[in-house]
Copies of this chain bind each other. A is one copy, B any other.
Amino acid sequence: MAVGGPTGDDLVEMLAALANPIRLRIVATLAGRRDYVSQLAREIGVSRPLLHMHLRRLEAAGLITGRLELSDDGKAMKYYEVTDFDLHLTASTVAEAAQSLTRPDPGKGPAPKEST
């Protein structure tokens, strides 16, 4: 997906999702091959609940996607894989994205009202 213009809010979410060693490692691992949760947790070396949280964050940002599949054993395995994200960050691209920011500060005011 070309990202000529994610909204400022979306950009913040993507950046926040990537700005973490564990999540960076998750993306790196999934970049090689898709994997299911338990196996991924073993490879990266984190607990399943923790990995689960990080996966949610990455998926919410649109950087990875997961789908539930059934193995031959009849076990439900959730496989994750990376999406085709492509972010180009320079002062100008950031400046453009910032124009569509709706939150002046994180988690406070809901949205800016239009000036009269």
**Residues in A lying within 8 Å of B, measured CB to CB:** 8-9, 11-12, 15-16, 18-22, 24-25, 27-28, 30-32, 45-46, 82, 84-92, 94-95, 97-99, 101, 103-106
Q: Who on chain B is nearest to A25 by CB?
A: B98
B residues near A19, Cβ cutoff 8 Å: 12, 15-16, 18-19
User: Are B31 and A91 closer than 8 Å at their CB atoms?
Assistant: yes
Tell me the minimal C-beta distance from A91 to chain B in angstroms.
4
Q: Who on chain B is nearest to A22 by CB?
A: B105
Q: Who on chain B is nearest to A88 by CB?
A: B88
With A89-B87, A95-B32: A104-B22 Cβ-Cβ less than 8 Å: yes
